[in-house]
Structures are given as C-alpha cells and as structure tokens.
C-alpha cells in the first residue's frame, strides 16, 4: 500500500513546451497533493504577466523573485511544483531543488517541444524561427537540466509522461524499503506493489534460470529500461494479437531461444498479452511456467487473474483456450496511470461490477469524485479488492460452472449493445449492468436503491453514450437462442452481494428489455 512518502515534494524542470504544467497537474491529482506553478505565483504576486514583468521591470528582478518564490514553495509539504524554464540557471535554485524535492527533468527533442508549444501564447516566439530559438536556449541550459534525473517524453502522451514520473518517484521511495511485496497466495499467487517493478523482475530472474519476456510494444516504450538485457519479444498488442498467425511468432521465439518446460515466460501488457502468453505457456512443450505483469486496469482486476486464457478463431472471440494458473502475478496499479481514458474506464467498470457481486467496498466508488478516479491510493484499493475477489470466485469455481458465471453481470445485454453501436466494451458493460438491474427492478427482484446507486456511480466513472434498445439490439440478445427455443440466462442482482442467475423465455425478455437509456 502507498505508505506516507519520505519525500514531501516533487518538482519538474524542463524547457518551455516540455509539458511541466500538465504533467505536474496530473501527478498532483493522482497523489492527492497540491499543484504549484512558480510562474503563476509570481504573476499573482506582481499582478502582471511574466511578459509584462520582463518588459517593465526587467529580467534581473524577475529572476530574484523566482529565487524567493522557489525557496517559499519548497517549504510546503505534499506538493508538485512546475518550475519556470529558466529556474535552473542559478546554482542556488538547483541546489535547493535537489535538497528539498525529488526533481525530474522532462526531456524532449526540439521537434517535440516545438509541436507542443502554443506559439500564440508566446509572443517572444511569434516572429522567430522557433526551432532556432529553442536550440539556442537548449545549448545554454542543457548541462543544468542534466543534473537532474531525466524522463524521456518524446512521442508520449501527457498521461504517459506523468506515469513515468510517478513510477520513478515511487521507485525512489521504496529503494531502501526491505519489506517484501504484499503477497497473497490463494489459488495462485498475486503480489501488489507500488514502484517495485524493478525489484520484482530482479527477484524473478534470481529465482528462475531461463526467463523470457513477452512485452506489449506500447508498454515497452514506457518502461524499456526494465527489460534491457533480457531475452524479450516485443509484440503489437490488441485483439489482433489473439490469433493463430501471431501465436506462431511467439512459439518461434521460444524455439529459437531453446525455451524448455522449466522456462518462465513473463507476459507484460494488457489482457490481450496475458491471454496470449497464458495460452502459449499452457501449450508450448505441454506447459511451462508463466508470470503475468498486467499493465491495464482491466488486466489487473480481471484478465490476468484466474488462469483462464483464450485466443480468437475466425470471427469468434475467445473460442480456443486453456485453463492454466499463472505461477505468479505482479500488480502495480501505478502502471495503469498512462492509459487513455476509454480503456481506463473499462477497468473501472469491471472493478465496480466486482463490488456489486461481492457486496463489499461499494463505498470506495461512492466516495470518490470523478476527477479523483486515478488517485493512486484509490486504484490500489480497487485493484487489490477486485483481483483478490476474482481469485476467490475462481477458487470456488475453477471451471466456470457455478458462481464464476456471476462475473457475466452486465455482459449479456452489454455485448448486444457493443456489437450494434460504436461504443467501448466498458460503456457496453455499464449499459448492460444498468439494463440487467432494471429488469430486476421491474420484476420486483431487485432493490431499487441498487439501480439508483449504480447509475450515480457509473455517471462519475464513465461517459455513458445515448443509445436505445433498437430491434437490432434485441435481436442480437435473442438471436442464437431463437431457433433452438432455448431460454436466456441473465445475471440479476437482488442487492449488493446477492445475485441470481435467472432464465427467461424469449417472449418474457423481449418485453422487459424495451427501454431507453
Ligand atoms: N482471460 C480472462 O479471464 C479475461 C478476462 C477479461 C478480459 N480478457 C481479455 O482481455 C482483453 C482486453 O484486455 P485489455 O483491455 O487490457 O486490452 P489490450 O491488451 O488490448 O490493452 C488495451 C490497450 O491498452 C494499451 N496499454 C496496455 N498497457 C498500457 C499502459 N500501462 N499504459 C497505456 N496503454 C497501455 C495497449 O497497448 C492497448 O492499446 C480481451 O481480449 C479480453 O478477451 C480476458
């Protein structure tokens, strides 16, 4: 769990356009700390813009003010400070930044800086050759910036830059911490840690002779230093990875490197990577050891847990698969901070679903504000809860015959919406959860308060699209059962922690699902 950090401040330095302000705002929000911008404080103090101070009073005066403000803000605890680009020009400022904060240099190429700068807000650059000006400034300042730990930001999004800083910060916080990871050993082990990935990988390498990493390309771009000297295959993740042509590359890689049944294959990435790596580990030489380091929220709360894996065949998703329990799963919730909003929300919906199934921890979602959903402490709690609960369910029903079917809550109706509208899987499951709960309310099975609470929470954690239950949606729900006269099973929650599987005839369901969102 996130302990009280020893370092009370994070500061960012870097050229104009390096993204200091946006990244600092993200980090402050995610740690629950205050955001401070030294330029903003100076402008407020003086009642003038920086440009006006330069013009009317002069740069020398501004630099003195800057020193004074830095000294003041470096006394404030639990804050993330975005510094002015020239702050590092003075020895006294650099010394203070090193002594009083964890300071990171956001590094970017001149082209990246130029592309990120809004020239209209920078009158000094308006009629200039921007690249030339930036290069000149860079040459003057490079040696000063490089006194600080560098975070490469080229080609990355603001969320990705922010995650890299947080990971480095958490890593530095745990450097001397000798405690082991928070580990749980149920049906298969799961470990949780924050900023301990490096240590975890060292641990696995120490305990196993032949280790092969299969890493998502996008994730590798963010944390390549962890896999530098190891046998690795970098894969383009996403649904297209889960097909037989792609599997061949993985088997080829293992064969080429003489992997054996004693080898450990480590899958690093989202659910598509853990599914494929699980499948390969189950089948290569009739099974070798497998470890997952899930990096999406969905994979941390769901896909990497429970030993089920599958690949797609033809047009059918997850139709060929195996059950193979991982030998270990390492979850660091801070790794997911770099995700885009849509995919991130999907993971949140799955975690929320788990609280409904278990009837516990629902208040975590009730108490969180929509701009706090990437809070590291919140993420830690929901991933820990969801992953362990999923494992408990799997332990009770390893082969999907009983309670594990509750995990389908929201999916029967959700899938039909997903294949009708261009909406995300998370949005579809959210709609499905509301729709299936609503059916329960109409049948007087479900506590109405549950529906109201679910709606309020989903509004906070995901942008729900305006969709309708058209004939096409209804047909999709009923389709495969229509010809056989089979009944349709659906998970209906009575209240938190009390769900049932109810069978409907086609006629019954047709009447019930006519509703508008
Ligand atoms: N086996 C199971 O029990 C189980 C359960 C649920 C889902 N699944 C499977 O999981 C898959 C979906 O998982 P997913 O949503 O993780 O998909 P994914 O693996 O395609 O990842 C989604 C996207 O996130 C990116 N990404 C991964 N880690 C990131 C990070 N740290 N920062 C930024 N971007 C990152 C990926 O590059 C990708 O573009 C589906 O194929 C589904 O069938 C399996």
The average pLDDT across 52-70 equals: 92
Task: Provide φ and ψ at 17, rounded to 5°.
Answer: 90, 0
Question: What DSSP designation does 337 have?
Answer: G
Mean pLDDT computed over 194-199: 92
Q: Is the CB of 335 under 6 A from ligand 1?
A: yes
Distance 341 CA to ligand 1 centre (A): 13
Q: Is the CB of 159 under 6 A from ligand 1?
A: no
Helix (H, G, I), strand (E, B) or coil at 190: strand
The CATH topology of domain 182-339 is: Rossmann fold (3.40.50)
The dihedrals phi and psi of 88, each to the nearest 5 degrees, come to -80, 0
pLDDT band at 126 (very low <50, low <70, confident <90, very high): low
**Which among 141, 145, 35, 137 has a CA at the least distance from the CA of 82?**
35
Q: Which among 291, 306, 321 has a CA at the least distance from the CA of 186? A: 306
Measured from the CB, is residue 355 less than 6 Å from ligand 1?
no
Domain spanning 395-512, CATH class: mainly alpha
* Higher-pLDDT residue of 404, 23: 23
Please indicate whether the domains covering 9-174 and 395-512 agree at the CATH topology level: no
Which residue has the CA at smallest separation from atom 8 of ligand 1? 303
Q: How distant, in Å, are the alpha carbons of 153, 219, 291, 336, 409 from that of 344?
A: 21, 15, 23, 8, 19
Q: Would the CB of 67 count as within 6 Å of ligand 1?
A: no
Of the candidate ranges 45-49, 370-374, 478-482, the one whose mean pLDDT is the lowest: 478-482
Q: What is the pLDDT of residue 309?
A: 95
Q: Residue 481 — very low, low, confident or very high, per pLDDT cuts 50/70/90?
A: low
Distance CA 49, CA 401 (A): 66
Instruction: Note the pLDDT of residue 394.
Output: 85
pLDDT of residue 187 exceeding 90: no
pLDDT tens figures, 76-105 = 999 999 999 999 999 999 999 999 999 999
Closest residue by Cα to residue 219 from 97, 337, 360: 337
C-alpha 499/C-alpha 429 separation (Å) is 16
How far apart (Å, rounded) are the C-alpha atoms in residues 276 and 93? 50
Q: Which residues contact 200 (CB under 8 A, 6 or more apart)?
A: 181, 191, 193, 293, 330
Helix (H) or strand (E) holding 81: strand 79-82
94 close to ligand 1 (CB < 6 Angstrom) = no
Pairwise CA distance, residues 309 & 322, whole Å: 6
Retrieve residue 391's tokens.
């494992």
Q: Is 29 in the pocket of ligand 1 (CB under 6 A)?
A: no
Give me the residues paired with residue 291 across strands. 266, 328
Burial class (CB in 10 A: 0-12, 13-18, 19+), 363: exposed
User: How far lies 457's CA from each of 362, 364, 373, 454, in Å?
Assistant: 10, 10, 11, 5
Who contacts 75 (Cβ-Cβ below 8 Å, separation ≥6)?
100
Q: Report the C-alpha gap between 377 and 408 in whole angstroms.
A: 27
CA 299 to chain centre: 9
Q: Is 167 helix (H, G, I), strand (E, B) or coil?
A: helix
pLDDT digits (tens, 9 = 90+) for 392-438: 888 887 776 777 788 899 998 998 999 899 999 899 999 999 999 99
Q: What is the pLDDT of residue 176?
A: 55
pLDDT at res. 124: 62
Nearest ligand 1 atom to the CA of 272 is 19
For residue 164 and ligand 1, the question of a CB distance below 6 A is answered with no
SS3 (DSSP) at 103: strand
How far apart (Å, rounded) are the C-alpha atoms in residues 169 and 292? Answer: 23
- What stretch of H or E contains 354? helix 341-358
Strand partners, 500: 492
354, 389 contact by CB (below 8 A): yes
Nearest alpha carbon to residue 335 among 200, 473, 484: 200
**Domains of the chain: which residue ranges?**
9-174, 182-339, 395-512
Whether 418 and 475 have beta carbons less than 8 Å apart is answered as no
Distance 272 CA to ligand 1 centre (A): 5
Closest ligand 1 atom, residue 346 Cα: 15
Q: pLDDT digits over 266-321, tens only?
A: 999 999 999 999 999 999 999 999 999 999 999 999 999 999 999 999 888 899 99
Provide the angle, in degrees to the nearest 10, between the axes of the packed helices 411-420 and 471-482.
Answer: 120
C-alpha span between 51 and 58 (Å, rounded): 10
Helices 448-461 and 341-358, packing angle to 10 deg? 160
Task: Write the pLDDT tens digit of every residue in 498-515.
Answer: 999 998 887 888 777 765
Question: What percent of the chain stands above pLDDT 70?
Answer: 93
Please state the atom number of ligand 1 nearest to the C-alpha of residue 216.
Answer: 37
pLDDT in the model for residue 405: 84
CATH of 9-174, one of 3.90.550.10, 3.40.50.300, 3.10.690.10, 2.40.30.10: 3.40.50.300
| Residue whose CA lies nearest to ligand 1 atom number 9 | 271
Nearest atom (ligand 1) to Cα of 297: 16
Given a contact cutoff of 8 angstroms between Cβ atoms, the answer to whether 350 and 298 are in contact is yes
Question: 438 versus 187: which is more confidently predicted?
Answer: 438
Here the tokens at position 304 are 């990497």
């Amino acid at each position: 769990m996130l302990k009280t950090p020893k370092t009370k401040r994070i500061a960012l330095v870097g050229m104009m356009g390096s993204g200091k302000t946006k990244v600092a705002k993200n980090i402050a929000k995610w740690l629950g700390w205050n955001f401070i911008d030294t330029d903003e404080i100076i402008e407020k103090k003086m009642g003038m813009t920086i440009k006006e101070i330069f013009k009317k009073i002069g740069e020398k005066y501004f630099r003195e003010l800057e020193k004074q403000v830095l000294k003041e803000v470096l006394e404030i605890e639990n804050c993330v400070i975005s510094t002015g680009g020239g702050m590092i020009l003075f020895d006294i400022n650099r010394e203070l930044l090193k002594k009083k904060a964890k300071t990171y240099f956001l590094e970017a190429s001149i082209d990246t800086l130029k592309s990120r700068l809004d020239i209209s807000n920078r009158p000094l650059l308006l009629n200039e050759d921007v690249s030339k000006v930036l290069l000149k400034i860079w040459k003057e300042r490079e040696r000063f910036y490089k006194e600080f730990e560098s975070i490469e930001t080229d080609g990355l999004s603001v969320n990705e830059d922010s995650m890299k800083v947080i990971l480095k910060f958490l890593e530095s916080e745990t450097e001397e911490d000798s405690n082991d990871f928070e580990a749980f050993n149920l049906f298969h082990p799961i470990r949780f840690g924050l900023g301990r990935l490096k240590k975890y990988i060292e641990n696995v390498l120490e305990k196993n002779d032949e280790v092969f990493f299969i890493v998502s390309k996008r994730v590798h771009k963010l944390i390549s230093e962890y896999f530098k000297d190891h046998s690795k295959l970098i894969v383009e993740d996403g649904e297209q990875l889960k097909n037989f042509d792609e599997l061949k590359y993985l088997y080829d890689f293992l064969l080429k490197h003489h992997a054996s049944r004693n080898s450990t294959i480590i899958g690093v990435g989202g659910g598509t990577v853990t599914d494929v790596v699980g499948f390969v580990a189950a089948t290569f030489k009739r099974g070798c050891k497998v470890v997952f380091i899930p990096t999406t929220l969905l994979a941390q709360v769901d896909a990497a847990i429970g030993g089920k894996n599958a690949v797609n065949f033809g047009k059918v998703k997850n139709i060929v698969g195996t059950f193979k329990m991982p030998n270990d799963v390492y979850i660091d919730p801070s790794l997911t901070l770099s995700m885009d909003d849509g995919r991130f929300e999907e993971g949140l919906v799955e975690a929320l679903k788990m609280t409904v199934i278990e009837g516990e921890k629902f208040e975590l979602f009730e108490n969180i504000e929509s701009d706090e959903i990437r809070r590291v402490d919140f993420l830690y709690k929901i991933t820990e809860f969801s992953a362990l609960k999923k494992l408990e369910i799997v332990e009770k029903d390893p082969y999907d015959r009983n309670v594990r079917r509750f995990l389908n809550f929201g999916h029967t109706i959700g899938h039909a919406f997903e294949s009708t509208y261009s909406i995300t899987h998370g949005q579809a499951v959210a709609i499905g959860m509301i729709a299936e709960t609503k059916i329960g309310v109409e049948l007087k099975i479900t506590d109405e308060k549950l529906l109201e609470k679910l709606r309020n929470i989903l509004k906070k954690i995901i942008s729900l699209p305006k969709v309708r239950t058209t004939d096409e949606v209804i047909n999709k729900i009923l389709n495969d059962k229509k010809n056989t006269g089979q009944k349709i099973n659906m998970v209906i929650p009575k209240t938190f922690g009390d769900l049932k599987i109810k069978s409907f005839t086609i006629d019954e369901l047709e009447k019930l699902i006519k509703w508008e969102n």
